[in-house]
């Protein structure tokens, strides 16, 4: 019990204690790793939460006030009042004003995510039933990324989140992500970067992030896409420029986009279909 309370307290606490992955009993966001996510967290913590709290407290106060003041024992003859123009104008205008005030920072955050700065690295994420495929179009790299089964997990690899081939990106660089799908709707989502975009067959959605610290970050497919929807996680390793270049060289050999690779892929697909 004490452990559970401690977990809850830790998770409500400012996110510094949290890692780059979801935790048991977590409430609130994962620790931010990009300006985009900082903005989202600010909007939530300093705009939405205060407004929601104030409205809830105010409505609760009104309810209690009415219950006590107009209770039957004190009001033998009920009032027949049915309209009050001033109050009606107020309860129409005030919510409108609240919405307008909320809209300003909300649109700012939304548009900052939508306008993609000049990209340093471009990656393409393709949703399949049920794994992610990645391409680095400028580097001629293409690979698939499958979830690691629970029995094969190594130390520090989180269950249902770790993958065999992670995405690598350099730190403090603009990474453009092109997102699409091959079969049904999926969604590429990485909470720490404040990124979530639908992967739609026949269409390419774009988004971007600029990770401001190194580490391994985890996300999941966020569009219900079939029976194994929960088993197509996303792992992104944010590394230094040198480490990224080193990975690129290795990846170019390991994941070279060539005829043989494609043939293996087709063979695998046929095998998968036969297994079904």
Choices 56-64, 159-167, 208-216, 225-233 (CB under 5 A): range interacting with Cu ion? 225-233
Closer to Cu ion by Cβ: residue 166 or 221 = 221
Quote helix, strand, coil % in the chain, to nearest 5. 45, 25, 35
CB of 219 to Cu ion, least distance (A): 11
Select the span of 23-31, 72-80, 147-155, 180-188 touching Cu ion (CB under 5 A): 180-188
Task: Draw the binding track, 57-76, toward Cu ion (x: CB under 5 A; -: no contact).
Answer: --------------------
User: How big is the chain by its Cα radius of gyration, in Å?
Assistant: 25
| Closest distance of CB 53 from Cu ion, Å | 35
Task: Rule CB under 5 A: say whether 221 interacts with Cu ion.
Answer: yes
Which among 32-40, 91-99, 143-151, 220-228 is the span making contact with Cu ion, rule CB under 5 A?
220-228
166 is an interface residue for Cu ion by CB under 5 A: no
186 binds Cu ion (CB under 5 A): yes
Count of residues interacting with Cu ion (CB under 5 A): 3
Question: Minimum distance between the CB of residue 121 and Cu ion, rounded to whole angstroms?
Answer: 23
Sequence-separated contacts (24+) of 213-217 with Cβ below 8 Å: 213/33, 213/171, 213/238, 214/171, 214/238, 214/239, 214/240, 215/20, 215/33, 216/20, 216/166, 217/20, 217/21, 217/33, 217/190, 217/192, 217/193
b/e map of 109-137 (b: 16 or more CB within 10 Å)? beeebeeeeebebbbbbbbbbbbbbbbbe
Q: How far apart are CA 92 and CA 103, in angstroms?
A: 17
Minimum Å distance from CB 166 to Cu ion? 17
E-state strands within 88-174: 121-128, 131-136, 141-145, 167-170
Q: 75 vs 182, which CB is nearer to Cu ion?
A: 182
Among 37, 169, 225, 234, binds Cu ion (CB under 5 A): 225
Q: Is 178 in the site for Cu ion (CB under 5 A)?
A: no
- Give how far Cα 160 sits from Cα of 86, 165, 219, 228, 233, Å: 56, 14, 10, 11, 7
Position 197 contacts Cu ion (CB under 5 A): no
Stretch that binds Cu ion, among 109-117, 164-172, 212-220, 222-230 (CB under 5 A): 222-230
31 lines the binding site for Cu ion (CB under 5 A): no
Q: Which residues bind Cu ion (CB under 5 A)?
A: 186, 221, 225
């Amino acid at each position: 019990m004490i452990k559970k309370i401690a977990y809850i307290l830790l998770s409500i606490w400012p996110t510094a204690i949290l890692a780059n992955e979801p935790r048991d009993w977590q409430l609130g966001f994962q620790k931010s790793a990009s300006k985009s996510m900082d903005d989202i967290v600010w909007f939530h913590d300093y705009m939405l939460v205060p407004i929601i709290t104030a409205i809830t407290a105010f409505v609760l106060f009104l309810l209690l006030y009415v219950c006590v003041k107009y209770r039957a024992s004190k009001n033998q003859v009920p009032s027949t009042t049915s309209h009050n123009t001033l109050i009606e104008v107020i309860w129409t205008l005030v919510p409108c004003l609240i919405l307008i005030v909320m809209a300003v920072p909300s649109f700012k955050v939304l548009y900052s995510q939508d306008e993609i700065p000049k990209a340093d690295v471009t990656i393409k994420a393709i949703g399949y039933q049920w794994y992610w495929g990645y391409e680095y179009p400028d580097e001629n790299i293409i690979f698939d990324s499958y979830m690691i089964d629970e029995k094969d997990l190594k130390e520090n690899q989180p269950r249902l989140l770790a993958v065999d081939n992670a995405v690598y990106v350099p730190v403090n660089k603009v990474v453009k992500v092109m997102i699409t799908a091959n079969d049904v709707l999926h969604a590429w989502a990485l909470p720490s970067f404040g990124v979530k975009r639908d992967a739609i067959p026949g269409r390419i959605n774009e988004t971007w992030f600029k990770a401001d610290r190194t580490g391994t970050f985890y996300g999941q497919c966020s569009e219900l896409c079939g029976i194994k929807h929960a088993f197509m996680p996303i792992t992104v390793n944010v590394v230094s420029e040198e480490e990224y270049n080193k990975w690129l060289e290795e990846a170019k050999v390991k994941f070279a986009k060539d005829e043989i690779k494609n043939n293996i892929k087709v063979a695998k697909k046929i095998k998968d279909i036969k297994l079904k």
